[in-house]
Structure 1
Amino acid sequence: MDGTTDINARFRILLAQLNPVMGDLSGNSAKALAAWKEGRERGVDLVALPEMFLTGYQTQDLIRKPAFVLDAAQHLDRLMSDCVAGPAIAIGGPFLDGTRLHNAYHVFHDGRIVSRAFKHFLPNFNVFDEVRVFNRGQVQGPWSLDNHGPRIGNPICEDAWYPDVTETMAECGAEILVIPNGSPYFRDKMEVRLNHMVSRVVETGLPLVYLNLVGGQDDQMFDGGSFVLDRHGALVMQMPLFEEGYGEIAFMREEGGWSPEPGMLSDIPCSFEQDYRVMVEALRDYMSKTGFSKTLLGLSGGIDSALVAAIAVDALGADQVRCVMLPSRYTSESSLQDAADAAGLLRCQLDEVSIAGSQEAVHDALAPLFEGQAEDVTEENIQSRLRGLLLMAQSNKFGEMLLTTGNKSEVAVGYATIYGDMSGGYNPIKDLYKTRVFDICRWRNRTWRTWMKGPEGEVVPVSIIEKPPSAELRPDQKDEDSLPPYEVLDGILKMLVDDEKSVADCVEAGYEREIVKKIEHLIYISEYKRFQSAPGARLSPRAFWLDRRYPIVNRWRDPSG
């Protein structure tokens, strides 16, 4: 039992759904202190911040640096000293227990430590590799403030995805579960989270607070969406996705336990909107957190670069985005017009730098060596690499971040030129299959939200959406000359890449074995390209980089099917 017996007692928690910057210990501490002061002004009992908020998440091997861990400990001590004469504050950050480093959750009140929980279940899948950097902690019992409020258990993120930790806390007397999370986005993840958390409520009979980080970190987007469930698993509070902010929730002590009062109930947008906003917010954060304000991209008149341009304008504003058309002798008039129309709709600058002269110069330089050799993909790649060279030169000269524009279908099968159109610092659509590129473009043309800095209405010309995709590296070239139709290609890729299915599974699903084997081969031989590719927003549980780690040298091919 806790120290209060008043049936009408209230306990108020301020959820600080905020966006930390990796490694900015002073800045993150200042954000935490500002949240605590906000809570003090509101008169709440507890201000709660998410998992590993002090350092940012995920730290990867940065957390293995002793000086970083020591610096984090000093910032935690200063924060504890600063937070006096007000509410308790709970914040995620590392803790070195002797020689054992933990992902910990610290609760301070009036300049002293009240509780320190260690993460028990360390995720070691998808983008997570916590077994590499942290030690597993013992399950901690609940805590309470002196003679005030409920007994609170703090399972840390993964600890709440299994019944063991929450049931142990309930058996030890916990009355409310407050779960700090660093849970990154993938499509439809909100439903997955809710289902798991409802299960924890059903098993323990305890109300539950799910508090999540928000903001971009490299390829990952922490999407917020913090929520509260009552003792019956009903949703009583839902904070917005992708937005920083505070959410206040009050718990009343009633017969049988503590119950949350109704709070805000924000809408959960459709998956197209969620994907698009992830690409926008991830780019915005990547730019600001790496110190860039302006960006540029090659605008070809094709759908991929048109979508990236729209994302960039919605993230940064038209005045911060510069598009460059780099025509060759194979560039059609319609592509020149489409690029001009796309830039015009977005109201951003469009420059033109022809590669024709450079192309001729390279041809002449190589002619003695290439004499007697037929033209092939070599000459096509030279064009792409010239574009990459000219774009990188502009990036260097003007201090603009160069965006790459390859979709997941192309990235998967290597239908992109390394040191060419793969040159750049970030790829917003890296985890977006080509068929979904079309869907997202149509969605954006009919949808506008206040978080978009671009204009309302059509931003990707319909002519771009409707024309057959082409790299325009040779006369009358079409993507389908080299690849199966994108509906077929994406269907096979989703099975082989996202679902790790076999060739036999694909054949059973109705795809031709010859085509499946070709795609499988292209996936494997393109690994070296992906290894050197720019990071991009993670939209699925099987994005290229941390989600899928394959060897570059690999002779195995699936014999099934």
Structure 2
Amino acid sequence: MWRTTTKGRAMTDRFRLTMAQLNPTVGDLAGNAAKARAAWEEGRAQGADLVALPEMFITGYQAQDLIVKPAFVNAAVREIEALAKACADGPALAIGGPCPEGAKLHNSYYVLQGGKVAAVTHKYFLPNFNVFDEVRLFSRDQLQGPVSINGVRVGMPVCEDAWYPDVVEAMEESGAEILVVPNGSPYFRNKYETRLNKMIARVVESGLPLAYLNMVGGQDDQVFDGGSFVMNPRARLAVQLPVFEEVTTTVDFVRGDEGWTAEEGTFVTHPDAWEQDYNVMVLALRDYCRKTGFGKVLLGMSGGVDSALVATIAVDALGAENVRCVMLPSEYTSEHSLEDAKACANALGCRYDFVPIGKGRDAITETLAPLFEGTQPDLAEENIQSRLRGLLLMALSNKFGEMLLTTGNKSEVAVGYATIYGDMAGGYNPIKDLYKTRVFETCRWRNANHRGWMKGPEGEVIPERIITKPPSAELRADQKDSDSLPDYPVLDAILDILVDQDGAVSDCVAAGYSREDAMRVQHLLYISEYKRFQSAPGARLTNRAFWLDRRYPIVNRWRDEG
């Protein structure tokens, strides 16, 4: 459909965009290119003018320091150039990738058309907060204008470029008619609302329709949640794609008397934060295993709430046939724990092994007896049990090629209530960013809810007694977590202030908690840094997760005296 303006210039009245919300793998250049090619083929079948993929799609995101390795960058550029030739006969293809220019390296968005690279837009605002280090990795370029595709000027602000007015304003002033924003935006709880508000501001300021395209899938601790959308002028949503799913959809933009608008298309309502958090933990583990080559996992099944939740996540991610639960009891393991661990494993349908540690512990005690002579049993003897369990679980992992999952929640990870080289042993921790109080509620949520993306059975898979009984490490007689820590509602509230809000001891006191508890938790938080430095990665649920979001020195004598 064409018309002629008063200046005699031919204009199109319809622009068709295919949005590919897909899951790349870092470093899999050929595999990512194949995904891009398949999306392009789908767009060509739909008669698209442009097929768009997310930020840095060819390399996967985030590639961290891999992206500054010249051989890797050159290989990525060659893959893009080959993709341009393969996709010569059909719609333009837009794909994110690195772009070297002399001594500079840019985070860029390539437009491939007619068998070649037709245009490149460089990212201007380089995020350098939370999990991002782009100032360290990339160079900033000057503001750029839109790209002409089949007679339509498309502005392509890359991810962070649309969070501030400058880039979009420059593109609008230089003639942009439609905005396509490629993203590698990782999940944290309630982030969609933040994105939506930022994009509303850009649409209102520019008066242009905007397609926000986000990638999906897990990479180390981060999960990219998708949730792509198309917004018309006056901030009306025309399209909203699902979260955590690969999907390709085609959107028509039509020119009217007031400019371009997108026709209404797919609109999926997003689930609440509890479901999204759980989906993140499942997808993070599933993709971590798939992308690293692990097909099976195992974990120590204690009869407690943390290991029960991790087992459930593992079954939902990988299927019960790929999960092994191992009970490793000592003389301190209660009958309730023995019964509950087996009941949970049976409810999930996964393998359950019973490996008592008594004989191994006796041998270690005898070996150390000459050195421990004259001392009283204390934490050292307690931790031998945990470390022996870690040894046995790692032996099973080595023998059968199953990745060991560790099961410490964020409360324990924060205050070091875990044994390094013991229950901290493992390759991945699905609940690393989930406070203990949320662990309990997540168990209740999973018992009451089942979704098609879960591979485990529906119904009560975590016995109620596991959720309601007092938590205990069971490393000594009658032990409870509350012997060593404030009750979890208090502990988690103080940690939320100190960690998630970066608050002070005085803030804890102002919130109604005792100075003694706040000082104690702060002390435990700082002295446990060396443990976290050596801990397994885990699914990121907040923007103050332990790893890239929060980086503290191991050696640190400073304390807030309140």
TM more than 0.5: yes
Q: Give the direction of change, closer, same or farther, for the CA distance of 1:554–1:397 in structure 2 (3 Å limit).
A: same
* Matching of residue 58 in structure 1 with residue 69 in structure 2: no
Matches within 5 A, 1:351-370: 351-370=353-372
Counterpart pick for 1:242 among 220, 229, 244: 244
SS of residue matched to 1:202: helix
- The offset of 1:394, in angstroms, is 0.2
Q: Which amino acid in 2 is paired with 1:168?
A: A
Partners in 1 of 2:178 and 2:6 — Cα distance? 12
Q: TM-score normalized by structure 1?
A: 0.98
1:37 matched residue in structure 2: 41
Partners in 2 of 1:518 and 1:113 — Cα distance? 59
* Matching of residue 215 in structure 1 with residue 208 in structure 2: no
Partners in 2 of 1:510 and 1:382 — Cα distance? 38
1:164 matched residue in structure 2: 166
1:177 matched residue in structure 2: 179
Q: TM-score normalized by structure 2?
A: 0.98
Q: Which amino acid in 1 is paired with 2:465?
A: S
Partners in 1 of 2:47 and 2:90 — Cα distance? 8
Partners in 1 of 2:7 and 2:455 — Cα distance? 51
Question: Which stretch of structure 1 is more off in the superposition, 364-373 or 423-432?
Answer: 364-373
Conservation of the 8 A alpha-carbon contact between 1:2 and 1:149: no
SS of residue matched to 2:470: coil
Q: C-alpha deviations, 1:300-351, integer Å up to 9, x for none? A: 0000000000000000000000100000010011100000110011011100
Partners in 2 of 1:2 and 1:317 — Cα distance? 63
Partners in 1 of 2:118 and 2:28 — Cα distance? 25
Partners in 2 of 1:522 and 1:250 — Cα distance? 56
Q: Which amino acid in 1 is paired with 2:386?
A: S
Counterpart pick for 1:126 among 125, 130, 135: 130
- The offset of 1:504, in angstroms, is 0.8
- The offset of 1:245, in angstroms, is 1.1
Partners in 2 of 1:377 and 1:199 — Cα distance? 56
Q: Which amino acid in 2 is paired with 1:397?
A: K
1:18 matched residue in structure 2: 22
Q: Give the direction of change, closer, same or farther, for the CA distance of 1:396–1:4 in structure 2 (3 Å limit).
A: farther
Partners in 2 of 1:488 and 1:548 — Cα distance? 22
Q: How many residues align?
A: 558
Unmatched 5+ stretches in structure 2:
none
Q: Give the direction of change, closer, same or farther, for the CA distance of 1:152–1:468 in structure 2 (3 Å limit).
A: same
Partners in 2 of 1:311 and 1:514 — Cα distance? 36
Partners in 1 of 2:445 and 2:193 — Cα distance? 22
2:120 matched residue in structure 1: 116
Partners in 1 of 2:296 and 2:320 — Cα distance? 10
Partners in 2 of 1:115 and 1:177 — Cα distance? 15
2:259 matched residue in structure 1: 257
Partners in 1 of 2:35 and 2:221 — Cα distance? 23
Q: Give the direction of change, closer, same or farther, for the CA distance of 1:265–1:149 in structure 2 (3 Å limit).
A: farther
* Matching of residue 81 in structure 1 with residue 81 in structure 2: no
2:429 matched residue in structure 1: 427
Partners in 2 of 1:510 and 1:481 — Cα distance? 22
1:321 matched residue in structure 2: 323
Partners in 1 of 2:136 and 2:6 — Cα distance? 38
Partners in 2 of 1:171 and 1:264 — Cα distance? 31
Counterpart pick for 1:503 among 505, 508, 511: 505
Q: Give the direction of change, closer, same or farther, for the CA distance of 1:354–1:10 in structure 2 (3 Å limit).
A: same
Q: C-alpha deviations, 1:373-395, integer Å up to 9, x for none? A: 11111111100000000000000
Matches within 5 A, 1:262-281: 262-281=264-283
1:104 matched residue in structure 2: 108
User: How large is the RMSD of aligned CA atoms in angstroms?
Assistant: 1.3
Question: Which stretch of structure 1 is more off in the superposition, 94-103 or 107-116?
Answer: 107-116
- The offset of 1:5, in angstroms, is 6.3
SS of residue matched to 1:247: strand
Conservation of the 8 A alpha-carbon contact between 2:81 and 2:117: no
1:90 matched residue in structure 2: 94
Q: Which amino acid in 2 is paired with 1:460?
A: I
Conservation of the 8 A alpha-carbon contact between 2:11 and 2:151: no
Q: Give the direction of change, closer, same or farther, for the CA distance of 1:2–1:389 in structure 2 (3 Å limit).
A: farther
Partners in 2 of 1:546 and 1:95 — Cα distance? 25
Q: C-alpha deviations, 1:181-217, integer Å up to 9, x for none? A: 0000000001110011001111111110000010000
Counterpart pick for 1:304 among 303, 306, 310: 306
Conservation of the 8 A alpha-carbon contact between 1:328 and 1:355: yes
- The offset of 1:114, in angstroms, is 2.4
1:485 matched residue in structure 2: 487
- The offset of 1:113, in angstroms, is 2.3
Q: Which amino acid in 2 is paired with 1:154?
A: M
1:466 matched residue in structure 2: 468
Conservation of the 8 A alpha-carbon contact between 1:117 and 1:139: no
Partners in 2 of 1:38 and 1:437 — Cα distance? 42
Conservation of the 8 A alpha-carbon contact between 1:6 and 1:253: no
SS of residue matched to 1:323: strand
1:378 matched residue in structure 2: 380
Conservation of the 8 A alpha-carbon contact between 1:213 and 1:222: yes
Q: Give the direction of change, closer, same or farther, for the CA distance of 1:358–1:2 in structure 2 (3 Å limit).
A: farther
Question: Which stretch of structure 1 is more off in the superposition, 296-305 or 366-375?
Answer: 366-375
Partners in 1 of 2:561 and 2:130 — Cα distance? 26
Partners in 2 of 1:525 and 1:400 — Cα distance? 32
Partners in 1 of 2:146 and 2:406 — Cα distance? 48
Partners in 2 of 1:387 and 1:449 — Cα distance? 34
2:230 matched residue in structure 1: 228
Q: C-alpha deviations, 1:395-433, integer Å up to 9, x for none? A: 000000100000000000000000000000000000000
Partners in 2 of 1:255 and 1:8 — Cα distance? 13
Counterpart pick for 1:522 among 524, 528, 537: 524
Q: Which amino acid in 1 is paired with 2:143?
A: V
Partners in 2 of 1:371 and 1:334 — Cα distance? 34
- The offset of 1:67, in angstroms, is 0.5
Partners in 1 of 2:531 and 2:219 — Cα distance? 22
- The offset of 1:112, in angstroms, is 2.3
Partners in 1 of 2:6 and 2:103 — Cα distance? 34
Conservation of the 8 A alpha-carbon contact between 1:102 and 1:118: yes
Conservation of the 8 A alpha-carbon contact between 1:7 and 1:254: no
Moved over 4 A (4+): 1-8
Q: Which amino acid in 1 is paired with 2:360?
A: S
Partners in 2 of 1:359 and 1:316 — Cα distance? 33
- The offset of 1:9, in angstroms, is 1.6
Partners in 2 of 1:73 and 1:80 — Cα distance? 11
Q: C-alpha deviations, 1:144-189, integer Å up to 9, x for none? A: 12xx342100000000000111111111110111000000000000
Q: Which amino acid in 2 is paired with 1:89?
A: L
Q: Give the direction of change, closer, same or farther, for the CA distance of 1:149–1:439 in structure 2 (3 Å limit).
A: farther
Q: Which amino acid in 1 is paired with 2:353?
A: D
SS of residue matched to 2:109: strand
* Matching of residue 135 in structure 1 with residue 121 in structure 2: no
2:478 matched residue in structure 1: 476
Counterpart pick for 1:392 among 381, 391, 394: 394
Conservation of the 8 A alpha-carbon contact between 2:56 and 2:107: yes
Conservation of the 8 A alpha-carbon contact between 2:12 and 2:151: no
